[in-house]
Amino acid sequence: MCMIKQFLRDVDWGELDYLIVDTPPGTSDEHLSVVQYLSSAQIDGAVIITTPQEVSLQDVRKEIRFCQKVNLPVIGVVENMSGFVCPKCKNTSQIFPPTTGGAEKMCADLSLPLLGRVPLDPRIGRSCDEGKSFLSEVPESPAVAA
């Protein structure tokens, strides 16, 4: 909690276009603290990230309800690991199949925009490990387009 306070209250970030706070799933005290510390900053809202499988969607629904309770607008939802596109043959496989409709159905049910789907590409991890920009290293990847 002290670290959150230090990052959000005691650090002069200067003029920012975006401040991205990546939190684990759930609705813990940490989430409440982030919202409280940022409330005076007139934040635009939260972008919620999920994966297609139902266990992730269950956590995300709780997070969306949390945002609604604390009057934090939900800008939209991004579905990560939305299919796997083989870097060699370009075929798509559903490693994490959306058995209950995935983010698309959840967004439709909750009247939220689905901002996009990012397919799984193992070259993302490799680029990160090598300290290289995935966007410039593999510009033809469907994950870059997403």
Instruction: Identify which of 99, 95, 19 has the alpha carbon closest to the alpha carbon of residue 55.
Output: 99
pTM attached to this predicted model: 0.83
Strand locations in the chain, DSSP E? 46-50, 74-85, 92-93, 114-120
Instruction: Identify which of 9, 64, 57, 4 has the alpha carbon closest to the alpha carbon of residue 30.
Output: 4
For the chain, list the domains and their CATH numbers.
2-83+95-121 (3.40.50.300)
Helices then strands (H, E): number in the chain?
7, 4
Instruction: Tell me the per-residue pLDDT of 29-84, one tens digit each, with 9 for 90 and over.
Output: 778 888 887 777 778 889 999 999 999 999 999 999 999 998 889 999 999 999 88
Q: CA–CA separation, 104 vs 122, rounded Å?
A: 24
The pLDDT score that the predictor gives to residue 27 is 61
